[in-house]
Amino acid sequence: MSDTELAATGMDGGLVSAGLSERVVTRNFLTIGSGEVVARILAFVASVYLARVLGAEVYGAIAFATAILLYFSRVADGGLDLIGTREVARNHAEASRIAGPLIAFRLAASALLTLLLAAGAFVWLPRRDALVLAVFALTLVTIGASTRWVHLGLEKTERASFSRVLGELLGLALILLLVRSSDDFLIVPLAHLAAGSLTAALLAWWLRGLGVHLGLRWNWAVVRPLLLRSYPVVLAALLGLLVYNSDLIMLRAFRGARTAGYYAAAYTPISLAISVGLAYRMSLLPALTRLGVAGGQRELYQTALAHVFAVVLPAAIGGWILAPQVVALVFGQEYMPAAAVLQLLIWAIPLSQLREAPVAALVSHAHEHRLLHLNAMGTVLNIGMNLVLIPRYGMMGAAISTVVTEGARTALAFVFAHGAGFPFASGRRFWRVAVAGLAMAGLLFTLRSHGLWAAATLGVLGYLTTLLALGGIRIRRGAWPSLNV
């Protein structure tokens, strides 16, 4: 019996081991997270190529269209990546009952959104920009058709990850082969449409092998209760997007395009971390949901916090110390003004990533309305601070606003999770990582003049060695090393 099957069925009268679920979460995260990282790298390559081939003006139209599309895609998803995943994880037999009606409803809703967005584009935008946005709008239908949430709820993460990578590969290949000049701008949204269609088709096809029957049918009695549970998630996601990009929009308005470009470069590692954090949340949510019935939620939740801290702390320390070298290598000397901004923004990574465990815990207990409260507070705080700080301090003001907002949102998430029965982990679970992080910082300060790769490699080795010496890494014969925090 596999780890997933064992965790789902339970042992000794139905009690599910939190330790076993921890291994399942780690395995699922490695598959989803690795797929997310590979997909983001492929998308980054496509973006760099398009920026060079299309030119700044046309590329700006593409970037604007994708920014607008983000808001509509959250509505087209309908919160199912969280709510649907939870419902399937709670009872795997639910997958066949709810998948067909939900996909039918989402297809109808996404088709309507596509028409509204395309019509609005031709009313409000110049012809070229309207064409780009209208074709991009077609990708909303592929979002509505996606069954990724079913695979995640069943904890079949390998195919969800593989399909995402295949889709990005197709999109990149089409762009590299067909986009040769600024006249080929419509190829870009068509490539995204092809990528999304391939991903959705593969996921739907693979459901057959999992015993899930995807018969599309209209059933409002099935859809309505799930929509009532998901609307706070959708609203929270829309507010989260405002937190995500309001600083960039205001920098563009108050300080110009060049400053916004510097800030966008500094924000690139934060965007990657957000994607990886979302992958971890989606790996953790099914296990927490299952353990809500059999017991062990609290243990898994606290272990997840300790594990996340062990990963994000050294990442933040390394980024803080080596930011100038990272900016010079990745973006070039022209972007060096972004280095100081990155040194501050990098602390948003541990603050935001530590929030994923309490968010997953809240959703597992059907407290998704707390996500709306969380992001509403974050939106008000972030926009207010941006309006005060950006006109006066520019990029650094935006970075301060981001870090403070992430800290406040994470603190509130812990308060909500505690109220739902998830107390914070004991401080004893963090001291080894903190000491190893300090040792790594001292090593990096000493070595940073010896080059980025040498300093980063020796810094990571120093962190791992210190953590091993303190007992934070367990090594057992016949098994992979594991964290002991």
Nearest by Cα to 409 from 214, 244, 256? 244
Report residue 26's pLDDT band, with 50, 70 and 90 as the boundaries. low
Q: How far is CA 277 from CA 41, 248, 371, in A?
A: 16, 21, 16
Provide the domain count of the chain.
1
Residue 317 lies in a domain: no
**What is the tens place of the pLDDT at every residue in 435-484?**
999 999 999 999 988 889 999 999 999 999 999 999 988 888 777 777 88
Amino acid at 144: G
Residue 332 lies in a domain: no
* Domain extent for 27: 1-218
In contact, 408 and 376? CB cutoff 8 Å = no
User: Cβ neighbours of residue 203 under 8 Å, at least 6 residues apart?
Assistant: 146, 147, 148, 150, 151, 159, 160, 163
**% of the chain surpassing 70 pLDDT:** 91
Residue 330 lies in a domain: no
Residue 436 lies in a domain: no
442-447, long-range: CB < 8 A, 24+ apart = 444/317, 444/318, 444/321, 444/322, 445/321
Q: How far apart are the first and last CA of the chain?
A: 28
| Residue 4: predicted pLDDT | 36
| Residue 237: predicted pLDDT | 82
pTM of the model: 0.73
Residue 102 lies in a domain: yes
**What is the tens place of the pLDDT at every residue in 201-213?**
999 999 888 888 8
Residue 483 lies in a domain: no
Rg of the chain on CA atoms, in Å: 23
| Residue 238: predicted pLDDT | 83
Bridge partners, 11 (sequence order): 15
In contact, 444 and 322? CB cutoff 8 Å = yes
| Residue 8: predicted pLDDT | 37
**What is the tens place of the pLDDT at every residue in 180-197?**
998 999 999 999 999 999
Burial of 366 (0-12, 13-18, 19+ CB in 10 A): middle
- Residue 245, phi-psi category: left (phi > 0), alpha (psi -120 to 50), beta (remainder): alpha
Bridge partners, 321 (sequence order): none
In contact, 248 and 260? CB cutoff 8 Å = yes
Residues 22, 281, 313, CA angle at the centre, nearest 5°?
A: 80
In contact, 7 and 287? CB cutoff 8 Å = yes
**What is the tens place of the pLDDT at every residue in 84-109?**
888 888 888 888 889 999 999 999 99
- Residue 421, phi-psi category: left (phi > 0), alpha (psi -120 to 50), beta (remainder): left
Extract the tokens encoding 420: 């739902």
Residue 393 confidence (pLDDT) above 80: yes
Residue 74 confidence (pLDDT) above 50: yes
Residues comprising the chain, all counted? 485
Query: Is 483 in a helix, a strand, or coil?
Result: strand
Residue 16 confidence (pLDDT) above 70: no
Residue 187 lies in a domain: yes
